């Protein structure tokens, strides 16, 4: 197989892998945040576990419609165990919750830029580099 075909296939494979690892989870997370924003559920929760070693995260418990739910929050491990925390959740699916205000979230354009601009540029660079390194075709 010619070197440029190998480079194109490798680049397409890397692109697909990066898409599956980064873009899809980011998309689903953004959809969950938008659902929280649309439904407007808000409750007071209680911090049940502090995880400062895990990017300052914590676990919390809250009640919605008479049922108890648990969730994981970001940047909340500086509060004491058992402290009150604001929780925002999707009224249709209270398991979808966050301690961050959902209206402040925008679509993560950095991933879109990465997938549509940066990765194809790496693929093109790989193809061009391999074409320059390959010996000229025999006549």
d(CA 69, CA 47): 12
**Residue numbers of the domain that contains 47:** 40-107
Q: Are 45 and 102 in a shared domain?
A: yes
Q: What is the pLDDT of residue 105?
A: 60
Q: Are 67 and 94 in a shared domain?
A: yes
Q: Are 21 and 71 in a shared domain?
A: no
Considering its fold, how many domains does the chain have in total?
2
Q: Are 73 and 102 in a shared domain?
A: yes
Q: Are 32 and 60 in a shared domain?
A: no
Query: Residues 58-113: pLDDT tens digits?
Result: 999 999 999 999 999 888 888 789 999 999 999 999 999 999 888 766 666 776 67
Q: Are 103 and 90 in a shared domain?
A: yes
Q: What is the pLDDT of residue 101?
A: 85
d(CA 78, CA 60): 13
Q: Are 51 and 81 in a shared domain?
A: yes
Q: Are 65 and 101 in a shared domain?
A: yes
Q: Are 134 and 95 in a shared domain?
A: no
Q: What is the pLDDT of residue 137?
A: 66
Question: What CATH number is given to the structural domain containing 87?
Answer: 2.40.50
pLDDT band at 139 (very low <50, low <70, confident <90, very high): low
Query: Residues 56-69: pLDDT tens digits?
Result: 899 999 999 999 99
Find the mean pLDDT for residues 22-32. Answer: 79
Which position has the token pair 């025999």? 138
Q: What is the pLDDT of residue 28?
A: 84
Q: Are 33 and 86 in a shared domain?
A: no
Q: Are 99 and 122 in a shared domain?
A: no
Q: Are 34 and 53 in a shared domain?
A: no
């Amino acid at each position: 197989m010619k070197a440029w075909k190998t480079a194109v296939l490798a680049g397409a494979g890397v692109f697909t892998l990066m898409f599956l690892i980064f873009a899809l989870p980011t998309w689903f997370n953004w959809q969950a945040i938008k659902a929280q924003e649309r439904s407007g559920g808000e409750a007071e929760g209680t911090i049940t576990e502090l995880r400062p070693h895990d990017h300052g995260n914590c676990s919390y418990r809250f009640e919605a419609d008479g049922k108890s739910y648990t969730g994981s929050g970001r940047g909340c491990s500086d509060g004491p165990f058992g402290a009150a925390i604001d929780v925002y959740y999707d009224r249709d699916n209270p398991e979808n919750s966050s301690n961050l205000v959902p209206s402040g979230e925008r679509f993560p354009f950095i991933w879109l830029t990465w997938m549509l601009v940066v990765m194809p540029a790496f693929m093109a660079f790989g193809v061009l580099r391999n074409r320059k390194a390959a010996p000229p075709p025999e006549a």
